Amino acid sequence: MGSAGGFLAPISGVVSCSGDDDYAPFLRHRAMMVNNSVSLQVLAVIALVTCGTAAVFGQGQTPNSAASVQAQTTSPEAPSVAVSADFVVGPEDVLGILFWREADFSGDVAVRPDGRITLPLIGDLVAAGQTPAALREQIQTAAMKYLTEPNVTVVVRQINSRKVFITGEITQPGAYPLTGPRTVMQLISLAGGVTQFAKSDEISILRQEQGRTRAYRFNYKEVALGRNVQQNIQLQPGDTIVVPQ
């Protein structure tokens, strides 16, 4: 149907102009506004969904994650050294002090040269010269001033006070922790054995006794054959085994 002023006809949802071009810019502007409005609404919905998801995950992680990390730092399953029941703590040893359900009191401490350790609230305690079991009782008694029925565990993380040394013609010379009873032959085995250039029948064990150095002889060949096995003495902290060339 025609008229002097032209006509407008909708085709597939898009308004087209015919006969009168004065309306074309206006209609294009309206279409752009509608499209922009729809885009903004879609972006707003996406933002709300994203924020809601982040909030849910954040709420699920915060308390439990903190507790999990705290539990790991004070877990008794952290690396420790197996020691004999008569092991005595000494200077420079590193101990793990673990309070059950009391993470603020728990942690690793190094024994100072004066033989003492420092614990939160409890303060200084003498650790050197005591077994881990005896030290546990001392800590538990001191903690009763601040905790109800404290439950304490003492583990040895590192042994730095009880070491023996082996040098010379040995496969792996160096310092070795003395975690329990150990003989000369056992330490040589632990260090990988003597080399092919070693004078294994002239090995010496140097020991400090009453301020003086005493040398003990050790014939590796004889002991290996089961002869004169009394040479295979128990080592003491600070002993040095010398394997000559």
H or E element: which one contains 218?
strand 212-218
pLDDT (0 to 100) of residue 28 = 56
Q: What's this model's pTM, rounded to 2 decimal places?
A: 0.55
What CA–CA distance (Å, rounded) separates 25 from 140?
Answer: 87
Residues 6+ apart with CB under 8 A from 136: 152, 153, 154
pLDDT (0 to 100) of residue 93 = 93
Cβ–Cβ < 8 Å for 93, 135: no
Tell me the Ramachandran region of residue 92: left when phi exceeds 0, alpha when psi lies from -120 to 50, beta otherwise.
left
What CA–CA distance (Å, rounded) separates 217 from 232?
Answer: 9
Cβ–Cβ < 8 Å for 182, 235: yes
**How do the pLDDT tens digits run along the chain, 245 residues long?**
444 444 444 444 444 444 445 555 554 555 555 455 545 555 554 555 454 444 434 444 444 433 333 333 445 456 788 888 888 899 999 999 999 988 888 999 999 999 999 998 889 999 999 999 999 999 999 999 988 889 999 999 998 988 999 999 999 999 998 878 899 999 999 999 999 999 999 999 999 988 899 999 999 999 999 999 999 999 999 999 999 99
Cβ–Cβ < 8 Å for 89, 179: no
